[in-house]
Structure 1
Amino acid sequence: MDHNIAVGHSLGASFVLYSLCEKPNLFQNYIAISPNLAYDNEKIAKALIDFDYKKLKNKPSST
């Protein structure tokens, strides 16, 4: 089974969260460790608050 995981720390974690908001199904899992949510006037933090989590697609397991 193919599984894409985005992992990042600090600014890399900010990128992981940005990609979640912009392309929510690009990865199956997102791990953001200590993201900088204050970046660009809290743009990512605000995007996460407004994010529609229904956009995430659950894929059934093939086991």
Structure 2
Amino acid sequence: MPFSEVIGQDRAIAVLRRSISVDRVAHAYLFSGIEGCGKRKTALAFIQAVFCGKEEACGVCPSCRK
């Protein structure tokens, strides 16, 4: 799932993208908020982007498909 599919989390996505681009991904992140705010989608997009190696997860490589 690419970051572009996540709605309403622009600030969080900017921080996560920056951590990937400068190769400073922390060992843990806490995604919190009310139910339905996009925590799970944001977390999935982030982890796919980390393991895919692209800014936006491609969705087709083995890392994205897991």
- TM-score under structure 2 length normalisation: 0.31
Greater strand content: 1
